[in-house]
Amino acid sequence: MPVVRVTLIEGYPAETRRLLGERLTAAVRGTMAAPLEGITVAIEEVRPDNYMRGGTSRVPGAPSPDPQALVRGFLEAMEARDLDRASEYLAEGFVMTFPGGVSFSRPEELAAWAKGRYRFVRKTYEGFDTALGVEGATVFCFGTLSGEWPDGTAFSGVRFIDRFEVEAGKLTRQMVWNDLAETLHG
């Protein structure tokens, strides 16, 4: 059974070590047919005064923000229409693309476009999936939409999926797919 040993400089938070263990386990499981209970990840720590690289003592780097938490924070801010807070999650050059190929770069643009389409929309999440890469992560969230059309008629159970690209702790791209048009015209 696979055993993965990792040595970190002492000082990383428990949450960072937990995430590293889960992600290494997932990487092993996705690479070989090892049973989950057979995969061991051992995280060892070395004190900064007992570690040198290039003749220089080192300190731990900052943990990367959890990409899924960034996506959740952005979506919560958008749902609350806290557009200033939502903007804090976005990288320079951020682009969001909605059904029909409509694209925006700022939350204010989306809010203005959506005004004539619905009064409000809420998301109920069925799940989040994160794929980690060398330069960042891709986060998918999916579930159903509910809300009100401009005339006050309620809608619910509308399928959606959002795909986010995350780099350096910021959202760089969002792609949205949903069945709102089918619900309106169906």
The domain that contains 36 carries what CATH number? 3.30.429.10
Number of structural domains in the chain: 2
52 with 108, same domain? no
pTM: predicted TM-score of the whole model, two decimal places:
0.84
Name the domain boundary from 57, 87, 103: 57
99 with 30, same domain? no
140 with 164, same domain? yes
pLDDT digits (tens, 9 = 90+) for 27-86: 999 899 899 999 999 999 998 888 888 888 888 888 889 999 999 999 999 999 999 999
Angle at 112 between CA 70 and CA 116, to 5 degrees: 120
Residue reference for tokens 């693309």:
97
6-20, 23-37, 48-62, 99-113: least confidently modelled range: 48-62
Quote the domain boundaries for residue 93: 67-185
83 with 51, same domain? no
Is residue 62 one of the residues assigned to a domain? no
81 with 172, same domain? yes
For residue 186, name the pLDDT band (cuts at 50, 70, 90): low
Q: CATH number of the domain that 123 lies in?
A: 3.10.450.50
Name the domain boundary from 39, 57, 75: 57
27 with 109, same domain? no
**Contact 85/72 with Cβ under 8 angstroms?**
no
83 with 174, same domain? yes
21 with 72, same domain? no
CA distance 10 to 48: 6
Q: What is the CA radius of gyration of the chain?
A: 21
pLDDT digits (tens, 9 = 90+) for 118-175: 899 999 999 999 999 888 999 999 999 999 999 999 999 999 999 999 999 999 999 9
73 with 135, same domain? yes
**Residue 146 CB: number of other CB atoms within 10 A?**
14
Can you tell me the mean pLDDT for 1-15? 92
Structure tokens at 128: 């989040």
Structure tokens at 156: 């619910």
Structure tokens at 140: 């998918």
34 with 100, same domain? no
